[in-house]
Amino acid sequence: MMSETKECLICNNNNYSDNLHCHICKKSICLNCCNKLESRKSVMIADQEIFIKYNCPYCRNENNKHIKLFNKKELLEIYKNNLICYINSYKKNKNYDFNLNILKNYNNTLQNELQRKNEEINRLSETLKHVINTNKNNTVNYEKLLNLYKNCLVQNGYNKKYYQ
């Protein structure tokens, strides 16, 4: 009786497709369950021949079914499923594009920040050089002033040795 009903053993809702019987274990599944399989792919061979590729959920063996095997209703179902896959891939791609743009903007901001930091560091090091030079000049001036002061004291009769 069971074989008469042709019921898909995975979902128990649909009749299995005669075209989706595994070439190894000979068990069949319905197109709906096949479309849900993660391994299911539509593959185009070089000479424009399209195959539905899937791993049998019972024995895990790979099956390649030529598209010509399927009837019109099944082909429509396959077409619809491929279209959904295409739309989903397209959406994902758009999302990737969006994320890529965010990353690009983020990188631009980082680069600008880096450049700003570099300029700031350059400015700071220039300022530091200026401070060091000013200090050097100040020391020289201080030495000069001190010597002038010492000479002045000596000229005014103070003993030179106290100030050396």
Neighbours of 4 (CB within 10 A): 6
For Zn ion, the binding residue among 10, 20, 52, 78 (CB under 5 A) is 10
Measured from the CB of residue 12, what is the shortest distance to Zn ion in angstroms? Answer: 7
- Per-residue contact string for residues 27-56; x = within reach of Zn ion by CB under 5 A: ---x--x----------------------x
End-to-end, the C-alpha distance of the chain in Å comes to: 124
59 binds Zn ion per the rule CB under 5 A: yes
For Zn ion, the binding residue among 17, 19, 20, 22 (CB under 5 A) is 22
Q: Are 68 and 79 in contact (CB under 8 A)?
A: no
List contacts with Zn ion (CB under 5 A).
8, 10-11, 14, 22, 24-25, 30, 33, 56, 58-59
